[in-house]
């Protein structure tokens, strides 16, 4: 299936490990891994960033295989998850950056189209998250208040 705004089929991206079993070189217990996840979350890292840090620094290829649950579920259990989902926050940060760029470069039509596309993605995601109950039904995206989420 093609992507929504570019008419291309995307195949790039990171791949999961081939085998879904504990690596033989890993000697950490699940409780230790949960403590590391909690420590990294308290430092302000997102769930995907925590996964990258676990992979690169601790040699843990897939936390779900070892813990039986995702990093997001661990954060939810420890009440360390953010008020907004990570993908929505990334889109809001992009919108803020694009709006700041358009303040200085008013004739940049490519950036204007990028802003429109990003705003429509935010609208679709908020509709989905409201229906699943991950964000409040009264929550509304406001470009003026969006700078608050970035800081």
On whether residue 18 sits in a domain, the answer given is: no
Do residues 93 and 134 share a domain?
A: yes
Position 108 confidence tier, pLDDT thresholds 50, 70, 90:
very high
Give domain status of residue 4, yes or no: no
Query: How much is the pLDDT for 11?
Result: 75
Beta carbons within 8 Å of 26's beta carbon, 6+ residues apart: 59, 60, 66
- The b/e string for 17-53 (b: 16+ C-beta within 10 A; e otherwise) is eeeeeeeeeeeeeeeebbebbbebbeeebbbeebbeb
Asked whether residue 93 falls in the same domain as residue 68, the answer is no
**Mean pLDDT for all residues in the chain:** 89
Question: Are 64 and 97 part of one and the same domain?
Answer: no
Residue 2 lies in a domain: no
Average pLDDT for residues 80-103, to the nearest whole number? 93
Which residue among 77, 106, 136 closes a domain? 77
* pLDDT confidence of residue 43: 94
Q: Higher-confidence residue: 61 or 16?
A: 61
Q: How far apart are CA 134 and CA 115, in angstroms?
A: 24
CATH code assigned at 100? 1.10.287.10
Q: What is the DSSP string of 45-77?
A: --HHHHHHHHHHHS--S-HHHHHSS-HHHHHHH
Q: What number of H helices and E strands is found in the chain?
A: 7, 0
Are 33 and 60 spatial neighbours (Cβ–Cβ below 8 Å)? yes
Total-model pTM: 0.79
Whether residue 123 is contained in a domain is answered as yes
Is 103's pLDDT higher than 70?
Answer: yes
Q: Strand, helix or coil at 137?
A: coil
pLDDT above 90 (res 81)? no
User: Is residue 36 located within the same domain as residue 70?
Assistant: yes
What local confidence, expressed as pLDDT, does residue 151 receive? 65
Residue 146 inside a domain? The answer is yes
Does the pLDDT value for residue 4 go beyond 90? no
Last residue of one domain, picked from the residues 42, 77, 112:
77
Mean pLDDT of 57-67: 89
- Confidence at 33, pLDDT banded by 50, 70, 90: very high
Domain of residue 46 covers: 30-77
Query: Is residue 20, in this structure, part of any structural domain at all?
Result: no
Q: Is the residue at 95 inside a domain?
A: yes
Total domain count for the chain?
2
């Amino acid at each position: 299936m093609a992507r929504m705004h570019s008419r291309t089929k995307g195949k790039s991206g990171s791949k999961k490990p081939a085998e879904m079993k504990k690596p033989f070189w890993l000697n950490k217990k699940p409780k230790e891994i949960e403590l590391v996840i909690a420590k990294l979350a308290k430092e302000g890292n997102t769930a995907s960033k925590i996964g990258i840090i676990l992979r690169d620094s601790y040699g843990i290829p897939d936390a779900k295989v070892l813990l039986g649950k995702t990093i997001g579920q661990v954060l939810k259990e420890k009440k360390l998850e953010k008020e907004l989902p990570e993908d929505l926050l990334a889109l809001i940060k992009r919108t803020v950056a694009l709006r700041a760029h358009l303040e200085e470069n008013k004739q940049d039509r490519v950036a204007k189209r990028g802003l429109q596309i990003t705003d429509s993605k935010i609208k679709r995601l908020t509709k989905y998250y409201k229906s699943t109950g991950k964000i409040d039904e009264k929550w509304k995206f406001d470009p003026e208040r969006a700078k608050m989420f970035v800081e």
